[in-house]
């Protein structure tokens, strides 16, 4: 049994002491799945790092114990901890790009883990590494074991990380967003693999995720975190059937699906408060739609709210006082977008120069014709050079003000299609065909003409950490595009624009002075989205723009993209594996497999009545929240 007793973690920062985790108590048994869910920045990943004793230099455990089958892990010397870390407790990190060594082949990294924590050596360790690559769904594992990480897609790198962790055969596994970068079929395969390991080896799994559909299908227990505290603890079936904390209820209402298409999602206004504050009352009160005056001055305790259930809310900890005190809530944080009002109304009022709305017409904004992208492979021992067709004869069009979703398994060519259209593959690959943006062939543009086209065409990358310059502050990252593509804005206008952009993507304005490494994965994704929106493009290629975001922030971003589309006729090429998001945002869908289109058409027709076997398999693998209100 893995038991956390009153764990508290603090980090030293320029702003003061950041209390990342406050008095956490959890128990994980062998063979059990415990899900830790909550918004980005609430302390989920910091919990995982604390349990592995991998806190940053500025962090320290200020209170609490972690016992592993009776042994105090925090009291172990580092030499013994190295055997625990990976051998008894494995961890799948959130960002595979930063967890894999870029100068070592993936096979070397997996074999190192096997030889460190098991008795296998040499050829036997290599054979086991190949077997694990095959089990996690890497195609041609015998060949791909000798690839470097940069030759793999984001989803494939995540699978390599999972293989490396599981190959050491730990007793407990901490999985920090293990399926975020995976398409639905591979996600289903990985989740089935974890279930199989639990049956075979009684693996204890601490699942950290924002995907409530995965939680509903995997978890035995759910702990909901907010601002460093657990605010609801319950068996999974009870949590989804009847959430008790106002925050839990709002999270479930924010999930996108086909039934909510055309409506604003029930996004939770505001952001998680900074954890260096001295909180006087309930930490969720400023965003709660049921908060009373008493909630802002009285701290709720984690209180029993039924069999095996605990809730941190004054409704349960001080029911008599709560009922007597009042009457009308003083906050309404979880409001939907106002009808007819958009997130950039204030920008327009300030004269910052947003383009006027463009009416949707039948003429394509972007027309892709016979797109082929070919990569050169390494020469064989006979001196012959091979080729790999990542995209093969792809054709589609996007109308102004419309959204086309590009779906398919990881490695099928979705991201390559997006980066080829914005001309980021010229040196690495041979590209043929046409990509006509308002009649201009992007593949023929050079220099200033290509730069001018990029004001109308922007991209949100899949991996926010790799796409943000670590040596630039957020203000410089966001302002860079404005300086290059919006010379008409003066300094004051740029500052107002950036501050309001941060408001709309759910970040505090003090983020402008911080560095990318100071943010969580979800917060970095919001910075990447703000950067793409800053230059007011007409078409945005969204490569998994919400995959790193929790449910509430995803709802904010989808509402923002929806409002922008309605006001300005903005178009999207939406690359995603989240079918719920596709159902909510897409007008048309293109299904890809191995670089080619297997099915395309109207969103409702393709998802509601798929004709191809591959599309049916893809949709069958989609996890759904079954016990939702």
DSSP code of 380?
-
Q: Rg of the Cα trace of the chain?
A: 25
Q: 259 is written with which tokens?
A: 């039934």
Three-state secondary structure along 132-197? HHHHCCCCCHHHHCCCCHHHCCHHHHHHHHHHHHHHCCCCEEEEECCCCCCCHHHHHHHHHHHHHH
Model pLDDT, residue 230? 94
Does some domain include residue 149? yes
Does some domain include residue 604? yes
CA distance 610 to 527: 36
470: left (phi over 0), alpha (psi -120 to 50) or beta: alpha
Per residue in 311-358, pLDDT (tens digit) is: 999 888 777 655 655 444 444 443 333 333 333 344 333 333 333 333
Does some domain include residue 345? no
Q: 395 is written with which tokens?
A: 């054709």
Among 139, 169, 199, where does a domain finish?
A: 169
Q: 450 is written with which tokens?
A: 């290509």
Locus of tokens 């492979």: 377
CB atoms within 10 A of CB 376: 12
Locus of tokens 């922008």: 564
Q: Is 501 helix (H, G, I), strand (E, B) or coil?
A: helix
CB neighbours of 43 closer than 8 A, spacing ≥ 6?
9, 20, 21, 225, 227, 228, 229, 275
CA distance 494 to 479: 7
* 181 burial level (CB within 10 Å; 0-12, 13-18, 19+): buried
Among 169, 203, 227, where does a domain finish?
A: 169
Does some domain include residue 606? yes
Give the pairing type, strands 59-68 and 221-226: unpaired
Range with top average pLDDT, 91-105, 229-243, 476-490:
229-243
Which range among 81-95, 220-234, 256-270 shows the weakest confidence by mean pLDDT? 256-270
Q: Is 377's pLDDT higher than 80?
A: no
Whether pTM exceeds 0.85: no
Model pLDDT, residue 232? 95
Q: Among 222, 603, 590, which residue's Cα sits nearest to residue 396?
A: 590
Per residue in 418-435, pLDDT (tens digit) is: 999 988 877 778 889 999
Q: Is 568's pLDDT higher than 60?
A: yes
Does some domain include residue 467? yes
Among 128, 147, 169, where does a domain finish?
A: 169
Q: Among 96, 17, 122, 239, which residue's Cα sits nearest to residue 547?
A: 96
Q: Is 508's pLDDT higher than 50?
A: yes
Model pLDDT, residue 47? 92
Three-state secondary structure along 54-97? CCCCCEEEEEEEEEECCEEHHHCCHHHHHHHHHHCEEEECCCHH
Q: Is 138's pLDDT higher than 60?
A: yes
Three-state secondary structure along 194-254? HHHHHHHHCCEEEEECCCHHHHHHHCCEEEEEECCEEEEEEEHHHHHHCCCCHHHHHHHHC
Q: Is 186's pLDDT higher than 80?
A: no
Q: Are 516 and 468 in contact (CB under 8 A)?
A: yes
Instruction: Render 409-424 in DSSP notation, one character per residue.
Output: -TTSSHHHHHHHHTT-
Q: Are 350 and 561 in contact (CB under 8 A)?
A: no
Q: Are 352 and 489 in contact (CB under 8 A)?
A: yes
Give the pairing type, strands 71-72 and 16-28: unpaired
Q: Is 453's pLDDT higher than 90?
A: no
Cross-strand partners of 573:
404, 541
CA distance 382 to 187: 39
Sheet bearing 457-460, strands edge to edge? 457-460, 539-543, 571-575, 403-408, 588-593, 596-602
Q: 629 falls in which pLDDT band (50, 70, 90)?
A: very low
Q: Is 368 helix (H, G, I), strand (E, B) or coil?
A: strand
Over the chain, what is the mean pLDDT? 84
Does some domain include residue 611? yes
Q: 256 is written with which tokens?
A: 């996108």
Q: Among 578, 505, 198, which residue's Cα sits nearest to residue 344?
A: 505
Handedness of CA 101, 102, 104, 106 (dihedral sign): positive
Q: 385 falls in which pLDDT band (50, 70, 90)?
A: low
Give the pairing type, strands 457-460 and 588-593: unpaired
Helix axes 521-533 and 491-504, enclosed angle (nearest 10): 130
Model pLDDT, residue 358? 39
The H helix count followed by the E strand count for the chain is 24, 22
Which range among 166-170, 400-404, 464-468, 527-531 shows the weakest confidence by mean pLDDT? 464-468
Does some domain include residue 383? yes
Over residues 138-148, the mean pLDDT reads 92
Q: Among 493, 615, 16, which residue's Cα sits nearest to residue 276?
A: 16
* Alpha-carbon separation of residue 104 from 87, 112, 129, 145, 451 (angstroms): 21, 11, 15, 11, 36
Over residues 453-461, the mean pLDDT reads 88
Report how many domains make up the chain: 2
Does some domain include residue 153? yes
Q: Rounded to 5, what percent of the chain is helix, strand, coil?
A: 40, 25, 35
DSSP code of 283?
T
The residue range of the domain holding 164 is 100-169
CATH number of the CATH domain containing 394: 3.40.50.300
Q: 410 is written with which tokens?
A: 């990881």
Model pLDDT, residue 66? 93
Model pLDDT, residue 348? 35
CA distance 505 to 40: 13
């Amino acid at each position: 049994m893995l038991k956390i007793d009153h764990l508290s973690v603090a980090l030293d920062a320029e702003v003061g002491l950041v209390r990342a985790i406050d008095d956490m108590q959890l128990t994980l048994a062998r063979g059990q799945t415990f899900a830790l869910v909550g918004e980005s920045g609430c302390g989920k990943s910091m919990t995982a790092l604390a349990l592995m004793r991998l806190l940053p230099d500025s962090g320290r455990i200020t209170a609490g114990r972690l016992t592993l089958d009776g042994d105090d892990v925090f009291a172990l010397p580092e030499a013994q901890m190295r055997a625990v870390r990976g051998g008894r407790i494995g961890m799948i990190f959130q960002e595979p790009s930063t967890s894999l060594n870029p100068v070592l082949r993936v096979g070397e990294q997996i074999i190192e883990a096997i030889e460190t924590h098991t008795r296998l050596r040499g050829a036997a360790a290599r054979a086991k590494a190949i077997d694990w690559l095959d089990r996690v769904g890497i195609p041609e594992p015998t060949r791909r074991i000798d690839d470097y990480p940069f030759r793999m897609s984001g989803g494939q790198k995540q699978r390599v990380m999972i293989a490396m962790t599981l190959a050491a055969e730990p007793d407990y596994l901490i999985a920090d967003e293990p399926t975020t970068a995976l398409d639905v079929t591979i996600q289903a395969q990985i989740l089935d693999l974890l279930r199989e390991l639990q049956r075979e080896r009684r693996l204890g799994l601490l699942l950290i995720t924002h995907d409530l559909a995965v939680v509903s299908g995997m978890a035995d227990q759910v702990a909901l975190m907010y601002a460093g505290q657990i605010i609801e603890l319950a068996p999974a079936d009870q949590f989804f059937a009847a959430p008790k904390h106002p925050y839990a209820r709002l999270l479930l209402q924010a999930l996108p699906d086909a039934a909510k298409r055309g409506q604003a999602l029930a996004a939770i206004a505001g952001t998680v408060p900074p954890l260096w504050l001295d909180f006087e009352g309930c930490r969720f009160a400023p965003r709660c739609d049921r908060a009373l005056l008493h909630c802002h001055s009285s701290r709720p305790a984690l209180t029993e709210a039924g069999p095996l259930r605990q809730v941190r809310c004054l409704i349960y900890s001080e029911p008599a006082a709560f009922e007597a005190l009042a009457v009308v809530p003083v906050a309404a944080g979880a409001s939907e977008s106002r009808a007819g009002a958009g997130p950039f109304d204030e920008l327009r009022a300030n004269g910052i120069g947003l383009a006027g709305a463009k009416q949707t017409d039948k003429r394509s904004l972007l027309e892709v014709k016979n797109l082929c992208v070919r990569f050169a492979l390494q020469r064989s021992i006979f001196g012959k050079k091979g080729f790999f067709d990542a995209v093969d004869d792809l054709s589609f069009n996007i109308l102004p003000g419309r959204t086309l979703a590009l779906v398919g398994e990881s490695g099928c060519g979705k991201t390559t299609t997006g980066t080829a259209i914005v001309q980021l593959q010229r040196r690495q690959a041979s590209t043929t065909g046409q990509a006509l943006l308002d009649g201009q062939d992007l593949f023929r543009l050079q220099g200033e003409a290509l730069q001018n086209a990029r004001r109308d065409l922007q991209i949100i990358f899949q991996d926010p950490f790799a796409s943000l310059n670590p040596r630039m502050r957020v203000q410089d990252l966001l302002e860079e595009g404005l300086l290059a593509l919006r010379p008409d804005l003066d300094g004051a206008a740029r500052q107002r624009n950036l501050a309001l952009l941060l408001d709309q993507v759910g970040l505090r304005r003090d983020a402008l002075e911080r560095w990318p490494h100071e943010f969580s994965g979800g917060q970095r994704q919001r910075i990447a989205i703000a950067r793409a929106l800053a230059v007011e493009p007409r078409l945005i290629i969204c490569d998994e723009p919400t995959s790193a975001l929790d449910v509430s922030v995803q709802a904010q971003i989808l509402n923002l993209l929806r409002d922008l589309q309605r006001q300005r006729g903005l178009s999207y090429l939406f690359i995603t594996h989240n079918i719920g998001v596709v159902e909510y945002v897409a007008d048309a869908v293109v299904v890809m497999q191995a670089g080619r289109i297997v099915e395309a058409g109207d969103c409702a027709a393709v998802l509601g009545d798929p004709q191809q076997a591959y599309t049916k398999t893809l949709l069958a693998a989609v996890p759904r929240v079954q016990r939702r209100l």
